[in-house]
Amino acid sequence: MSTENVSGPTIVLGVIGSDCHAVGNAILYRVFSEAGFNVVNLGVMVSQDEYIDAAIETNAKAILVSSLYGQGELDCEGLRERCIERGIDDILLYVGGNLVIGKVDYAQTEAKFKKMGYDRVFTPESDLNEVIKLLYADIKERFGE
């Protein structure tokens, strides 16, 4: 687990399930750290409970879930319910990457993951500067910070 001591909001980052894709994770860690977030990076192959443990421990405002390998549909289901069960009902859940198997229309994927309780859903090509702006705005709106 790697963190840097910065004053910005704390977020938890990691690649879910049995997924080994490490390159995007390394870049996201850099980019969000440079943007002022206190990033708790769990790396690849993260279970739902590992995200939640880290979020509770560090009082994180958001969990950023990556899934690249296609089995995201199986791995991501139930994370919102599990967050509620463990008392962090209002944490922001972002998810991004190659979320489902195959080249599927993005709108379909977005709808599927929003229904699972994710606040925002991103394609691999998302502009990370835009994501950073959204995340600051969403945190402000939800937590008033």
Partner 1 sequence: MTAAYGKAYISDADFFAEREEVLKTWPTGSDVDLDEAVAYHRTISDDKKFTEALKKAAEEGRVLVQPRAGVALVDEHIELLQKLAAEADLLPTTIDAYTRLNHYEEAQKGIERSVAAGKSLLNGFPAVNHGVKECRRVVEAVSRPLQVRHGTPDARLLAEITLAAGFTSFEGGGISYNIPYAKKAPLELSVKTWQYVDRLCGYYESKGIRINREPFGPLTGSLVPPCVSTSVAILEGLLALEQGVRCVTVGYGQLGNLVQDVAAVISLRELCDEYFRKFGFENYQLTTVLHQWMGGFPEDEAKAFAVISWGGAIAALAKATKVIVKTPHEARGIPTAEANLQGIKATKQIVNMLAEQHLLREDSLQNEVELIKKEVRCILDRVFELGEGDFAKACVRAFASGVLDVPFAPSRFNKGKLMPVRDSSGAVRILDWAGTPATDEVREFHRRCVEERGVSEGRKPSYHMLIDDIYAVSKGRLVGCRR
Which residue's CB is nearer to ligand B12, number 27 or number 84? 27
Could you give the residue numbers annotated as active site? 19, 21
Which residue's CB is nearer to partner 1, number 20 or number 111? 20
Q: Does 69 bind ligand B12 (CB under 6 A)?
A: yes
Q: Does 19 bind ligand B12 (CB under 6 A)?
A: yes
Centre a 10 Å sphere on the Cβ of residue 30 and count the other Cβ atoms it contains: 13
Among 18, 84, 108, 140, the residue binding partner 1 under the rule CB under 8 A is 18
Q: Phi and psi at residue 77, in whole multiples of 5°?
A: -60, 135
The contact mask relative to partner 1 for 46-85 (x = CB under 8 A, - = no) is -----------------------xxx-xx-----------
User: 89 contacts which partner out of partner 1, ligand B12, none, CB within 5 to 8 A by kind?
Assistant: none
User: 131 contacts which partner out of partner 1, ligand B12, none, CB within 5 to 8 A by kind?
Assistant: ligand B12
* C-alpha closest to that of 97 among 106, 87, 88, 89: 106
User: 28 contacts which partner out of ligand B12, partner 1, none, CB within 5 to 8 A by kind?
Assistant: ligand B12
Q: Tokens 């791995």 label which residue? A: 75
* C-alpha closest to that of 47 among 22, 9, 82: 82
Q: Tokens 């850099």 label which residue? A: 30
Q: Which tokens is 119 given?
A: 């606040």
Edge to edge, the sheet with strand 10-15 lists: 38-41, 10-15, 62-67, 92-97, 120-122
User: 43 contacts which partner out of ligand B12, partner 1, none, CB within 5 to 8 A by kind?
Assistant: partner 1
